[in-house]
Amino acid sequence: MSAGTEQRRNEVLRAIVSDFISTQEPVGSKMLVDRHKLGVSSATIRNDMAVLEAEGFITQQHTSSGRIPTAKGYRQFVDAIHRVKPLSRAERHAILDFLENGVDLEDVLRRSVQLLAQLTRQVAVVQMPDLRVGRVKHCEVVSLGTQRLLLVLITDTGRVDQRNVDLPEALSEEDVSRLREFVNRAMVGRTLDEACAQISAQAGEAKGPSMAERLRVAIVAVTTVLVETLLERPNEKLILAGTSNLIGAGEFAPLIDALEEQVVFLKMLNGARDMNWQVRIGEENEDEELRHASVISAGYGSQSAVLGSLGVVGPTHLDYPGTISSVAAVAHYVSRILAGE
């Protein structure tokens, strides 16, 4: 096969994918001739379509109908996208203005998924920053009663996490103050891994006449909560928007059921661990709930420290160029805002 023939067939495939995304109707040779200046006859187009079908890039639902792309065809189409379609100046300004009005990190990320859901008309999801990436800025210890504490962990990435700690014995306000000082001395300025190792080591050494037994027990309880709930599951918080966009799409019923558990989305976003956009189509997704979907995601943060990921979930016939552009742009501007630019 000549290079010219291969290039033309690639153009035919791109035209079929583009038309099907636009119309969601099977594409016939006459439609291709009418819409696209391919420079060849209808007979040649029909022959190209037969070859593309034999190679698994397109398929025919009915004998007399046109063709629709397969997952392999969508993959070929996406792999040919080398440059993200740039947004207009007005679009960029609108995105940045909307995100910059966020009052804190969580509000910025909540706005980011609201924006993505509106721009793409799909489900958007963002992962809160990975606690392992940042360093502990402060750990507030608040008494919620005589035998319960609230831990508020703040990292330098802007992530805020809260945990309750139940105590076997009551603590005085002076004890709580000493506990707060102890925890921050062990954790501030360290990564979560380092902080948990340090506080665990110091908890084991928290003995002696200068420390009351009830305070030592409280330190062990606080350490246990920090290690078990933060270190072992550091990135469980997700924010979603646009779930109503799935209503009426029968093939997404399993995905709708999975929304509440969020496990599928955590696994999905954990795969995006760099700043470049990624696309997973149909069977390329590991989870059964996503086998009929396409996932477009990107990391946010910096090349040296990806803080988390955001993305869009939709049907395999979604607008890939437009959705990729939206995901990449929102991830870029979230990164800029978090960097203080």
In this structure, is residue 174 part of a structural domain? yes
**Cα(189)–Cα(197) distance, integer angstroms:** 13
Shared domain for 108 and 244, answered yes or no, is yes
Q: Calculate the dihedral angle through the C-alpha atoms of 136, 142, 144, 145, rounding to the nearest 10 degrees.
A: 130
- Check residue 208 and give its pLDDT: 54
- Check residue 323 and give its pLDDT: 93
Shared domain for 66 and 194, answered yes or no, is no
Apex 136 CA angle, 195 and 263, nearest 5: 85
**Cα(223)–Cα(151) distance, integer angstroms:** 11
**Boundary of a domain, candidates 56, 79, 102:** 79
- Check residue 21 and give its pLDDT: 92
Identify the CA nearest to 214 among candidates 169, 149, 151. 169
In this structure, is residue 224 part of a structural domain? yes
**Cα(157)–Cα(137) distance, integer angstroms:** 9
**Boundary of a domain, candidates 231, 259, 289:** 231
Shared domain for 218 and 301, answered yes or no, is no
With cut-offs at 50, 70 and 90, classify the pLDDT of residue 253.
Answer: low
Contact 157, 129 (CB under 8 A): yes
**Cα(84)–Cα(91) distance, integer angstroms:** 14
In this structure, is residue 98 part of a structural domain? yes
Residue 165, token pair as written in the block:
């700690």
Shared domain for 174 and 263, answered yes or no, is no
- We report the CATH number of the domain holding residue 204 as 3.30.390.60
- Check residue 13 and give its pLDDT: 93
Q: What percent of the chain has pLDDT over 70?
A: 84
Shared domain for 126 and 144, answered yes or no, is no
For 39-96, write each residue's pLDDT tens digit.
888 889 889 999 999 999 999 877 677 899 999 999 999 999 887 878 888 888 888 8
Shared domain for 194 and 276, answered yes or no, is no
DSSP reduced 3-state for 159: coil
Q: Which has more pLDDT, 12 or 128? A: 12
In this structure, is residue 293 part of a structural domain? yes
Shared domain for 109 and 199, answered yes or no, is no
DSSP reduced 3-state for 172: coil
- We report the CATH number of the domain holding residue 47 as 1.10.10.10
**Boundary of a domain, candidates 176, 209, 231:** 231
Q: Which has more pLDDT, 250 or 127? A: 127
Give the 3-state DSSP-derived string for 223-284, with helices as H, strands as E and coil as C.
HHHHHHHHHCCCCCCEEEECHHHHCCCHHHHHHHHHCCCCHHHHHHHHCCCCCCCEEEEHHH
- We report the CATH number of the domain holding residue 333 as 3.30.450.40
HSE value, Cβ hemisphere, 13 Å, CA-based, for 323: 26
**Cα(76)–Cα(99) distance, integer angstroms:** 34
Average of pLDDT values for 285-306? Answer: 82
- Check residue 312 and give its pLDDT: 92
DSSP reduced 3-state for 290: helix
For 198-237, write each residue's pLDDT tens digit.
877 776 666 555 567 788 888 888 888 887 766 655 556 7
Average of pLDDT values for 162-186? Answer: 87
In this structure, is residue 84 part of a structural domain? no
- Check residue 258 and give its pLDDT: 62
- Check residue 18 and give its pLDDT: 93
Shared domain for 155 and 219, answered yes or no, is yes
Residue 231, token pair as written in the block:
């270190």
Report the number of distinct structural domains present in the chain: 3
Give the 3-state DSSP-derived string for 186-236, with helices as H, strands as E and coil as C.
HHCCCEHHHHHHHHHHHHHHCCCCCCCHHHHHHHHHHHHHHHHHHHCCCCC
- Check residue 117 and give its pLDDT: 92
Q: Is the pLDDT of residue 1 over 70?
A: no
Shared domain for 22 and 55, answered yes or no, is yes
Identify the CA nearest to 106 among candidates 278, 262, 239, 296. 239
**Cα(210)–Cα(316) distance, integer angstroms:** 65
Shared domain for 333 and 280, answered yes or no, is yes
Q: Is the pTM of this model over 0.85?
A: no
Domain that holds residue 192: 136-231
Contacts of 28 (CB under 8 A, 6+ apart): 65, 66, 67
Shared domain for 256 and 113, answered yes or no, is yes
**Cα(301)–Cα(310) distance, integer angstroms:** 11
Shared domain for 190 and 215, answered yes or no, is yes
